[in-house]
Amino acid sequence: MKKKDKRSEEKKNNDIIDMLDDALDEDISEISDFSEMEESDGETAVSDNKNARHFVVGLIFIVLAAIGLISSVSFVSGKIRNVIDNTEQKNEFAKFIYPVVICDPPGFDATTKLRNETIISAAVWDIILYEDKSRYTLDFDYLIVPEVDVEQHAAKLFGSGLSIEHMTIASADISFYYDGEISSYRIPENPKFFTYSPYIESISKVGESYTLTVGYVSPTPAWLTLTSDEAPLPEKYVDYIVQKRGTSYTLVSIKQSDKKAENGHDSGL
């Protein structure tokens, strides 16, 4: 009886196990395979995460390298632009003071102290260099230039408020003849004589005031110092103080420069 009960109990246990197997529909080998798949998927996920991190780090390095390249190009471009801008500014100032440099005037600390000869000569040279000569009457080889035009060009160089006594400016090399009857000057149409050409050695700025260290180069054809690639050898240096007023400039003073000419000439005025 006891043996029967025992067999009956074992059968019940086996039936329970079979029922559980049917319910789970899995066996131990399948569960083991599933576990191995999970481990494999985990390793793949870890590998993918590493690859993603490597990609992000690489991308960051590429971006930083690109930023560095752009910064370097901008820096070099800025330097080149500064050099170009400085050259253009030097040429602009050289063009402005050229008529005065030709006259080689003595130093002055105020335009009210300018000599009459200096004002007229510089104004006439400004007309010769930059004015449209076709607007003037030509009398043989001389242009008939109204005195009012001379006054306007004098104001362009030295500012307003000048006191000008019109007169003939005569020298051994070139003369500007004043004709009081027609209130005009007779000036050569194409003069060949130039005393000095300007070479801007350096520019310093304080506010709207510029100090130009100007080398006097002689003798040279007009504009040679503005187009030559080689630096000329000035005979002397003079400081020009120029004031910017709006979009134009005005020469306010000329003084002796501290810079000495390499050829041993005195830089004094």
Domains in the chain with CATH codes: 31-104+195-269 (3.10.450.630), 106-194 (no CATH)
Decide: residue 172, CB within 10 A, 0-12 exposed, 13-18 middle, 19+ buried.
exposed
Provide the whole-model pTM: 0.66
- Distance between CA atoms of 30 and 214, rounded to whole angstroms? 97
Q: Residue 101 above 70 pLDDT?
A: yes
Question: Residue 42: which pLDDT band, with cuts at 50, 70 and 90?
Answer: low
CA 10/CA 33 separation, integer angstroms: 30
Asked whether residue 173 carries a pLDDT value surpassing 60, the answer given is yes
3-state secondary structure string across 201-216: EEEEEECCEEEEEEEE
Mean pLDDT of 171-199: 90
- Which token pair is 29? 């080998």
